[in-house]
């Protein structure tokens, strides 16, 4: 009919994502200075489901609703004339509880760059970094590779194949056994 079913007032929501059931909605609010993002959880009746919103540093660039929790990638920037290669400019990966919004990881693993590719696998999250490198984090927050795979900068393609993980950068191509 086009009639409003409910309305709720949460200022500053820039974008939203619903879960598969469309019973839970996540709203993202970038703070006025652009340094943080606040995440709100709203029910299908418009009620806020988390007691407090959750703040992550930077601007959210990827958000996945998983059975184990919420995977959030946010990009931090030192601002001004920064480039993606500045040392303070990097992505953070957080893993939040869907029920409370609490961070499930005591300490987020360092990415040492911007997350350019992000894949959820059975045993964790595989990610590729703009500045070069591929790593994998388990759902418990611990890295699954002893050290990141070295790649050239700017991973253009990263895909899972029967032979392994293929990646293509502006400098090299490789297939890696995960």
State residue 78's pLDDT score. 75
**Which residue numbers in the chain have pLDDT < 50?**
81-82
State residue 87's pLDDT score. 54
State residue 32's pLDDT score. 79
- Within a 10 A sphere around the Cβ of 28, how many other Cβ atoms? 21
Q: What is the DSSP string of the chain?
A: ----------TTEEEEEE-TTSSEEEEEEE-TTSSEEEEEEEETTS-B-SSS-EEEESEEEEEEEETTEEEEEEEE---SS--TTSTT-EEEEEEE-TTT--BS-SSPPP-SS-EEEEEEETTEEEEEETTS-EEEEETTS-BSSSSPBP--SSEEEEEEETTEEEEEESS-EEEE--
Rounded Cα distance between 90 and 114, Å, is 5
State residue 84's pLDDT score. 52
Q: Are 136 and 158 in contact (CB under 8 A)?
A: no
State residue 92's pLDDT score. 94
State residue 150's pLDDT score. 92
Alpha-carbon torsion (99, 97, 33, 73), positive or negative: negative
State residue 10's pLDDT score. 83
DSSP lists the bridge partners of residue 119 as 126
């Amino acid at each position: 009919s086009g009639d409003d079913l409910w309305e709720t007032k949460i200022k500053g929501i820039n974008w939203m994502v619903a879960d598969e059931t469309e019973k839970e909605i996540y709203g993202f609010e970038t703070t006025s200075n652009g340094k943080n993002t606040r995440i709100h959880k709203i029910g299908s009746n418009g009620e806020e489901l988390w007691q407090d919103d959750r703040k992550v540093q930077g601007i959210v660039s990827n958000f996945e609703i998983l059975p184990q929790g919420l995977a959030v990638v946010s990009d931090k920037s030192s601002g001004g004339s920064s480039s993606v290669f500045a040392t303070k400019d990097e992505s953070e990966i957080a893993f939040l509880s869907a029920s409370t919004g609490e961070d499930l990881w005591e300490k987020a693993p360092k990415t040492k760059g911007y997350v350019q590719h992000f894949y959820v696998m059975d045993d964790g999250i595989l990610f590729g970094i703009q500045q070069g490198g591929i790593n994998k984090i388990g759902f418990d927050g611990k890295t699954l590779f002893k050290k990141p795979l070295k790649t050239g900068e700017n991973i253009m393609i990263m895909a899972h194949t029967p032979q392994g993980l293929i990646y293509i950068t502006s400098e090299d191509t490789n297939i890696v056994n995960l």
